[in-house]
Structures are given as structure tokens and as C-alpha cells.
Amino acid sequence: MYRGGYTGKIVRINLTDQTAEEGELPLEIARDFIGGAGFGIKYLFDEVKAGTDPLGPENKLIFASGPFSGTTIPCASRMSVTAKSPLTDAVGVALTGGYFPVELKYAGYDALIIEGKAEKPTYIWIKNGRVQFRSAKKLWGMKTTDCQQIIKNDLNDQNVRIACIGPAGENLSKIACIINELRAAGRKGLGAVMGSKNLKAIAVRGNTRVAIADKGKLKAARGEFTKAMKESHVLYPKFSKLGTPATVDLTCAMGIFPGKNFSATGEFAPVEKIGVEVQETRNVGSEHCYGCPVGCSQLKMAKTGAYAGILAEGPEFETMYSFGGVTGVDNIDAIIAADRLSDELGLDTISAGVTVAFGMELYEKGILSTEETGGLVLKFGNHEAMVTLLRLMAFREGIGDLLSDGVRVAAEKIGKGTEKYAMHVKGLELPGYDVRGAKAHGLNYATSYTGADHNRGYAFQEIFGIPIPHEVDRFAPEGKGKLTKWNQDVCTATCDAPTMCAFLMANAVPDTATQNTANLMEAVTGLKYTPEDIWVVGERINNLARAFNVREGFTRDDDTLPDRLMTEPLKEGASKGHFISKSDLKQMLDEYYTERGWDINTGAPTRAKLTELGLEYVADAMRS
């Protein structure tokens, strides 16, 4: 019996036959997987068979919040969206914040499991446990902001919270994302999964409040947590004022801000054009997720040229990289405009920018001609071409159709050795850190169950110099296997599952993250955990995700990095001369698999490890 934190209910929504079936959330699933990404991966492994077409009706799209969402715990309005990724064919987990996650809980559910495919464009309306199917015919083709506003008008309620796709998702771009407000459940192409189901949007509204098992314990645990937040040397002095884009200056100083498709890192470091000092001239306010006192998301308005007057929430650091560093663009107003356009079209900004950069390098090397690009001069730094190309990608027009599915697919279509310029892991485009100067970060890219994903096990020890669990040398391969396991498991258990903003682990409670989560879990849900129990939850989730990928045919060979990062030393900057050699990667992988208790030759979880984590049935399913 649930005492707090959970509604105890999930709802299965079958788009094919337009039915909704409410069911109970088993207590053992809540205890073993906590919520969020844990729920998504559990249901994905159990219910999506090996070999399922990610864009077929048999794939499932799972929205799940955690027990902290909707409570008074700060920075907990988060949720995961999970499906088999059409971009990678692996587990696809995207995280998002804003207000939708809390409203989903208020509407009565811990998770939504979307199945099948609607015959015609549809949106789902959920209010206080009641599910309706509505026509999205007039919404099809709309940008995301317009779509959300029209739904609110139709429902006569401006406080409805909506997750929707734009034209990119409708056109099944494998780099399409899901947008709620201007927040993105980005990466892995989950917007295409939604589009493949003819599902334009999900609207939620509710007034059910989340029960608390012990309000006194919650007050005490929350007090300790907020005290740590206030005492952080980073959170309020810098992060709340500047947000993630401040990392541009830091990574340029470290020599790891990727430049021109990773060919000019350390050489192209445009701090004077897109760094903090310039960013502050474009700031016009900030946005807070529900219940967040930090408000890290900065609103920026472009001020010059054709972009003047365009407002964007962000761009966050990763977008400053993807539409700035990696494309060679140093026009901050163009970056703001590209960010807003991507949100409206429903394109993941990281994958989109890296794909544009891939096209630019091919153009500069003469592999793509002006005739093939439809007249676009795809040179590094050409911001007008970048913005134009985003629209073409979303609508699959001209050269945009070739690039709409990301760099791996584009390289496969073009051939001519272009795979060496395709910067991805497992099909997922690289985030904004050149890992030649941060080896644990690189190992995380190689081993993350979603592909190159900084969110799965962010190496804050290397990037921010935080010596927890210990001080590290960012250039050394030694000890990085153990560190990467720690980062992945702790972040999964304390952020992705409960659900909690991941920035807090590094900026507020890195030394007490598992204890903090254990305290809050007992107060909110009544379920008792030790810090070690919390860690095991993270390990269990990561093993289950790995098992899903193994069942899909992934092996140790897929835990790799682009050749450029393993063969070309950085030429300039503070990380000059460094790279991750193939022997470095082998050393780190051997250590990582050993620490995880996985087969060192295949990278697969062993039966002994799965049994230890209560997942023996998974060992059977992997080999059936």
C-alpha cells in the first residue's frame, strides 16, 4: 500500500483502438526502480520485444515522473520519456522539466504507456483520471508553440500543460524531440516515435495532490537539502544568474569546447563573441521549472540583423555548442534564432547542430557540392545557411531530407568515406565536450546505454574540478572505469529516477547525494532505503538498460568513439596534444566492465550480476 509520493496508478493508452486502461503500479516496481527512467526502462524491457521497429506500432512510448514530482521538494518537476530509439535502435530515454511532469501527477498517474498507432492525427486529453481522444487534424503541421496555444483555447483552460511534436516529429525525422512549453525531451528521436503513432500532443490537467508519508521527516530532510543548496559556491552566485551557457567560457579555457565538427577544438574558441559577457547583453529574464528556486534557464533576445526580436528560452550550453562551436558560428543572435526555430520545429538542438556541422565539413572538403545542397554555401560559420538548413531538415526538403535522420544515416547514404566525419556513438550525435581532454567523460559517451549522452554519467569531477568521490586527472585513463560507473549509477538513482534536476548533484549535494535521496524517499513515500540501497537502484536500472541493448545485438564493439577522437591529437589550447587512444579506451573499458561485473569480452551483464540485482529473469530473456 502506498503511503505517499506515488499515485499508485499507471494508464495504458492504446491509440489503435482508442482505449485507455487504468492499472495499479506494483509496489515492488516502485521499490526497485523508484520512478522516472527506472519505470520507463523496466516497462520497455518487459513489453517491447527484440527487433521491434522503433517507428512501428509495437514500440511503446512511456512518460513517467518520480515520487518527488508534485511535492514541496525543490527542483523535482522532472520526468522521463522512454521508447526504443529510432536513431540508435537502443534504449531511448529523454528527460525534461517545466510544469508538465507535476501536472501529470496531479492528473492522477505515475506513468503513461502509449501503445499502437492512431488511424488519423490525434491528441490525448487527460483530466483527473479521465482520458479522451481528440482530433488533431487542424494541429498537424503546426509549430509547437502554436499547437499548445490552440489546444489550450480548445479546452478553454490556459493552465493545461502540453507535450507535443512539431513538423520534424510528424515527418519522422530521427532527430525529432518532444516539446512541453519550450522544454525539450530531447535526443534519441522520440519525437519521431510520437509522430509514427499519429500522436500530435498530450494535454494534462488535474487537482489531485501528492500525499506525503511523514510531513515532519520531509520538513527536516528538505531543510538539509535546501541548506546545502544555499551553501553551494556555484548554485546561487553563478548558476541561477548565468545558467548552463556559462560553461562556454570554462570549456574554452580547458581547450575542450568543440570547434568545427571537432576539427578545430582549441583553435576556434569564440568566448569574445558568444561567451558570458556577450550572453548577458541578450538576457531579458529567466524561467523556473515548477517548485525551483534556482531558475537557471535564461531568456535571451536577439538584437541584430534579421534575427532581432527573436526570443528563446536558453540557449543552454549544449545549444551554444551545437549552433555555435561545432558549426563554427560566432554570431550569438543566430544561435538564439536557431534555438527558437528548433524548439518550434521540434528538432533536438544537439543532434541538429552536429548534423549541420557534418554537412559543412563535407561541403568544405568537396564531398557535397552547391548543386547537391540546393545552392546553400555550407561553410563553417555561415549562420544563414545553418538556419535555413534546420527548416529543410524538419520538412525533409532538398538537402534537408538527406540530413534529417542524423549523421550516421546521412553518412551511410552518402558513402565516400564520410563516416569518419560523422561524430556519434551508437548513432547519437556527440554533446558539447571534446573528450580528448576529459577521458571519463569520453568513457561515459562510449558506454552510456543511450549512446553519446552527457546526461547519463556526467563527469563533473573533470569538468568542474569537484573532488568527489575523489580528485581526478582529466587526461589520465587510470581509474576512469570505476569513476564512470559511480557517475552513471549515482546520477541514475538520485536524479533520473526520483525525479530530480541533475544539476543539483554536482552543484549542491555531490558528497551526500545517495543519503539525501534516501532521506527524502523515506519522508515522502515511507519506503526505507540506505544510501547503499539507493546506489543499487541506479546499478539495477543501468544493468537492465544494458540488457535491453544486448538483446538488440549491441556488443563491446559498439562501446567506442569516433576515430577522430582516437587518432587526432588536439592541436591547440589547454588540452593540446591529448586524445583518447584506442589503447586508452581498451584500458578504460576493461576496468569499467570489471567494476560492473560484466563479461569483459562482450560487455554483457553476467547472470551472476543480474541475479545479484534481482534481475535473474532478465538473464533468461536476453538469451531466449
Q: What is the pLDDT of residue 624?
A: 61
Q: Assess if residue 91 is contained within a domain.
A: yes
Reply yes or no on whether the pLDDT at 504 is more than 80. Answer: no
Grid coordinates given for 77: 518537476
Segment among 78-92, 223-237, 327-341, 343-357 with least mean pLDDT: 223-237
Q: Do 419 and 302 have their domain in common?
A: yes
Q: Please give the grid coordinates belonging to residue 299.
A: 531568456
Could you give the CA distance from residue 463 to residue 134 in angstroms, rounded to a whole number? Answer: 47
User: Which is higher by pLDDT, 291 or 222?
Assistant: 222
In the three-class reduction of DSSP (H, G, I as helix; E, B as strand; rest coil), residue 163 is classed as strand
Q: Hey, what's the cell of 356?
A: 549541420
Alpha-carbon gap, residue 563 to 591, rounded angstroms: 21
Question: At residue 237, does pLDDT exceed 80?
Answer: no
DSSP annotation string for 294-341: S--EEEEE--SGGGTT-EEE---HHHHIIIIITTT---HHHHHHHHHH
Work out the angle at residue 189's Cα, subtended by the Cα atoms of residues 449 and 333, and round it to the nearest 5 degrees.
Answer: 110
> Which run of H or E residues covers position 551?
helix 531-551
In a domain, 542, yes or no: yes
**Domain shared by 401 and 470, yes or no:** no
| Among candidate residues 239, 23, 193, the one with its CA nearest the CA of residue 112 | 23
Query: Pick from 365, 396, 423: which residue ends a domain?
Result: 423
Last-in-domain residue among 423, 453, 479: 423
DSSP-based three-state secondary structure for 279: helix
Same domain for 440 and 417: no
Q: What is the mean pLDDT of residues 465-493?
A: 97
Three-state SS for 83?
Answer: strand
397 with 471, same domain: the answer is no
CB 466 within 8 A of CB 506: yes
Give residue 70's region: left, alpha or beta (phi > 0; psi -120 to 50).
left
CA 168 to chain centre: 17
How large is the average pLDDT for residues 18-24?
98
Residue 230, burial from CB neighbour count under 10 angstroms (0-12, 13-18, 19+): exposed
| 540 vs 606: CA distance, rounded Å | 13
Q: Which pLDDT tens digit goes with each residue over 411-460?
A: 999 999 999 999 999 999 999 999 999 999 999 999 999 999 988 999 99
Closest to 160 measured CA to CA, from 191, 184, 128: 128
The per-residue pLDDT for 439 is 98
Q: Of 369, 393, 423, which residue is a domain's last?
A: 423
CA dihedral 306, 310, 313, 318 (to 10 degrees): 0
The residues, any chain, with a CB within 8 Å of residue 359's CB and separated by 6 or more, are 368, 373, 378, 389, 399, 403, 410
Mean pLDDT of all residues in 43-55: 98
| CA dist list (Å): 297 to 267, 479, 504 | 29, 34, 14
Q: Which three three-digit cell numbers place residue 59?
A: 514500440
* Mean pLDDT value across residues 42-61: 98
* Residue 222 is assigned to a structural domain of this protein: no
Whether 269 and 373 map to the same domain: the answer is yes
Same domain, 442 and 367: no
How many domains is the chain partitioned into structurally? Answer: 3
Are both 141 and 89 inside the same structural domain?
yes
One domain, residues 267 and 342: yes
d(CA 258, CA 264): 7
Supply angle C-alpha 36, 37, 39, rounded to 5. 70
Instruction: Specify whether 418 is located in the same domain as 517.
Output: no
CATH assignment at residue 298:
1.10.569.10
Average pLDDT, the chain: 96
As a 3-state breakdown, the chain gives helix, strand, coil percent values, each rounded to 5, of: 45, 15, 45
Judge whether 51 and 554 are in contact, CB under 8 Å.
no
571 within a domain of the structure (yes/no) = no
- The pLDDT assigned to 290 comes to 86
Q: Band the pLDDT of 22: cuts 50, 70, 90.
A: very high
Q: What is the DSSP letter of 80?
A: E
Residue 236 carries which DSSP code?
I
Is the Cβ–Cβ distance between 241 and 235 less than 8 Å?
Answer: no
Checking if the pLDDT of 288 tops 90, the result is no
Same domain, 309 and 166: no
pLDDT bracket for residue 243 (50, 70, 90): confident
Give the model's pLDDT for residue 49: 97
Evaluate if residue 562 carries a pLDDT over 80. Answer: yes
**Would residue 213 count as lying in a domain?**
no
Are 79 and 63 a contacting pair, CB within 8 Å?
A: yes
CATH number of domain containing 149: 3.60.9.10
Q: Does a structural domain hold residue 459?
A: yes
- Domain span at residue 59 reads 9-205
H/E stretch holding 542 reads helix 531-551
Beta strands at 111-115 and 122-127: parallel, antiparallel or unpaired? unpaired
The predicted-structure confidence for 132-189, as pLDDT tens digits, reads as follows 999 999 999 999 999 999 999 999 999 999 999 999 999 999 999 999 988 999 999 9
CATH code for position 486: 1.10.599.10
What backbone phi and psi angles, to 5 degrees, belong to 378?
-85, 60
Mean pLDDT of 32-59: 98
Contacts 24+ apart (CB under 8 A), 230-237: 232/507, 232/508, 234/464, 234/507, 235/294, 235/503, 235/504, 235/507, 235/508, 236/294
Q: What is the rounded CA–CA span in Å between residue 394 and residue 61? A: 21
Q: Is 133 a domain residue?
A: yes
- Is residue 215 very low, low, confident or very high in pLDDT (cuts 50, 70, 90)? very high
Query: Do 439 and 417 share a domain, yes or no?
Result: no
- 572 in a structural domain: no
Whether 226 has a pLDDT exceeding 80, the answer reads yes
Count CB atoms within 10 A of the CB of residue 566: 17
Both 600 and 480 in one domain: the answer is: yes
Given a cut of 70, whether residue 331 has pLDDT beyond it is: yes
Q: Is 553 exposed, middle or buried (0-12, 13-18, 19+ CB in 10 A)?
A: exposed
Cα–Cα distance, 39 to 497 (Å, whole number): 8
Which pLDDT value is given to residue 231? 87
Residue spans of alpha helices (H) in 23-157: 27-33, 37-47, 100-106, 144-155
- Measured between its terminal Cα atoms, the distance across the chain in Å is 34
Mean pLDDT of the region 321-349: 98
Return the pLDDT at 105. 97
The fraction of the chain above a pLDDT of 70, given in percent, is: 100
CA distances from 187 to 32, 94, 246, 347, 441 (A): 26, 6, 22, 9, 18
State the pTM of this model.
Answer: 0.97
